[in-house]
Amino acid sequence: HMPCDTIIFVDCRAALSHAAARIRAGLLLPAQTRNGSGGMAAWEEGTVSSVDVVGLDVEWKPTSSRMQQENPASILQVAWRAGLIIFDLLWMRRVFLTAAGQRGSGGEGGGGEGAEDTLQMTDVIQELLTSESVLKLGFDFKNDVAKLRASYPECKCFDRVYPMLDIASWSRGIN
């Protein structure tokens, strides 16, 4: 059971700021300042603590026929002992496209708030996905990463996920 105040659905600027602060203060900072190693090394050493591991999952609407265009990844779920953050990737895409449209149509500056929101979201996702002090855990996550990359090729935050333990691969090795 997880209290409602530990769940953040990121679909607006305020939720994005709250999620970024929560990830940085609740996951990244403690893992980096803790004595000893984190991430995969901690897993191998058997010294994983409650903030060392995050579970990741990606969801998207399935297509109903082969003729239908693939739907993009719609949410990225990040869960750990003390919280759950659900990133609305479709909101991120809308914000990104709106910002790009404003730039393309002679809008002000670099796309304004939309560009800043997209940058903040991709920055915090990239910090989390590449932090060597936090072990990422998923089931057949390589397919989720491929879906993220295909859905959002302009977002480099999905290019690298490390350290990653894929439960599907790991369980096949046990059997």
Q: What pLDDT does residue 50 have?
A: 45
CA 151 to chain centre: 14
Give the torsion sign (CA, 69, 152, 58, 94): negative
Q: DSSP state, 135?
A: E
Q: DSSP state, 27?
A: I
Q: What pLDDT does residue 128 have?
A: 94
Q: What pLDDT does residue 51 have?
A: 44
Residues of the chain with pLDDT under 50: 35, 50-51, 107-111
Q: What pLDDT does residue 159 have?
A: 95
For tokens 């914000």, the residue is 95
> What pTM was computed for the model?
0.82
- Classify 46 in phi/psi space as left (phi over 0), alpha (psi -120 to 50) or beta: left
Q: What pLDDT does residue 26 have?
A: 80
